[in-house]
Amino acid sequence: MPSTAAAASPSGDDPLIVMEDVNKWYGAYHALRDVNLSVRRGEKIVLCGPSGSGKSTLIRCVNHLETIKTGRIIVDGVRLDDSTRSVDAVRSEVGMVFQNFNLFPHMTVLQNCTLAPMRVRGVTAAAAEATAKRYLERVRIAEHAHKYPAQLSGGQQQRVAIARALCMEPKVMLFDEPTSALDPEMVKEVLDTMVGLARDGMTMVCVTHEMGFARQVADRVIFMAEGQILEEAEPESFFRAPKHPRARSFLGEILAHH
């Protein structure tokens, strides 16, 4: 594995993701302002905040779906510059789950899961299928392996999307509002899958409004507004007594609807 920074030690203390003074603009719009964030191995982080606060943009920068203007992002010891080499190295270690699942509709569930390991890691078809079946089992959807995404419910599709990302055996999983596009009765099955993943020790960064999930698994809750990180706290103290007035009004609004 090519590494542009000092080789990471395998101990649990070195951060897996580091963002330093990250700034991003969309035209004149300042989407991320001086963002500093460090995610330890095994840590679970929940990012919340009003829409347009930059939380999705932030995690999309981690795997270079968005590019930053200034600052540094280091993932597993690899400094993300715009080089193909660093982008490849980072993407192969970072899994991502999207709001709209983004499964490949022309492929079966199994093919969705085996494509990247075969094309990126060069794994044989048989090995890729064995891995895929293991993860499909884990998200409890193995019986649908030969169906197409359109034949599955939203919750099932999102669990397949989680399995697809896991098949690359990533070091960290990014979740971009994974339950926002789901019917209410399907939210639980996806959250349960994510809780299971957290229990198994996966490093996770989740953009979500599911405060129950945040309470249950997050080591830290990060509150963002207008592209800035305004508050970082353990879930208990964040929900009991948010310090920043913006966080207080945000929590008041979302809890009023629950």
Partner 1 sequence: MGTTFGLGELGFLIQGLKWTVLLAAIAFVGGGIGGLGVALARTSTSRALRRITGGYIAVFQGTPLLMQLFVIYYGLGLIGLTLPAWVAVAIAFTLHASAFLGEIWRGSIEALPKGQFEAAKALGLHYVPRMRDVILPQALRIALPATIGFLVQLIKGTSLAAIVGFIELARAGQIVSNQTYEPLLVFSVVGAIYFALCWPLSLYGMRVESRIARAAAR
Is residue 98 close enough to count as binding partner 1 by CB under 8 A? Answer: yes
Q: Are strands 94-97 and 78-79 parallel, antiparallel or unpaired?
A: unpaired
Binders of partner 1 among 228-247, rule CB under 8 A? none
The tokens describing 144, both together, are: 């649908």
- Whole-angstrom distance, CA of residue 220 vs CA of residue 242: 13
Applying CB under 8 A, which of residues 15, 54, 95, 178 lies at the interface with partner 1? 95
DSSP letter, residue 39: E
Torsion angle of alpha carbons 82, 83, 85, 90, nearest 10°?
A: -10
Q: Of 106, 146, 199, 243, which lies in the binding site for partner 1, with binding defined by CB under 8 A? A: 106
Asked whether position 63 contacts partner 1 by CB under 8 A, the answer is yes
Binding residues for partner 1 restricted to 113-132, rule: CB under 8 A: 115-116, 119-120
Q: How many residues bind partner 1 (CB under 8 A)?
A: 25
Minimum CB distance to partner 1 smaller for 120 or for 241: 120
Residue 79's φ and ψ, nearest 5 degrees, are -75, 120
Among 91, 144, 209, 220, binds partner 1 (CB under 8 A): 91
Please report, for residues 247, 248, 258, the alpha-carbon distance to residue 255 in angstroms, rounded to integers and kept in the order given. 12, 11, 5
Q: For partner 1, which is the closer residue by CB, 26 or 104?
A: 104
- With a CB cutoff of 8 Å and minimum separation 6, the contacts of 180 are 99, 208, 209
Q: What SS3 state is found at 46?
A: strand
96 binds partner 1 (CB under 8 A): yes
d(CA 166, CA 252): 35
Closer CB to partner 1, residue 117 or residue 227? 117
Fill in the per-residue mask, 144 to 183: x = in contact with partner 1 (CB under 8 A), - = not in contact: ------x----------x--xx--x---------------
Interface residues with partner 1 (CB under 8 A) are 63-65, 88, 91-92, 94-96, 98, 100, 102-106, 115-116, 119-120, 150, 161, 164-165, 168
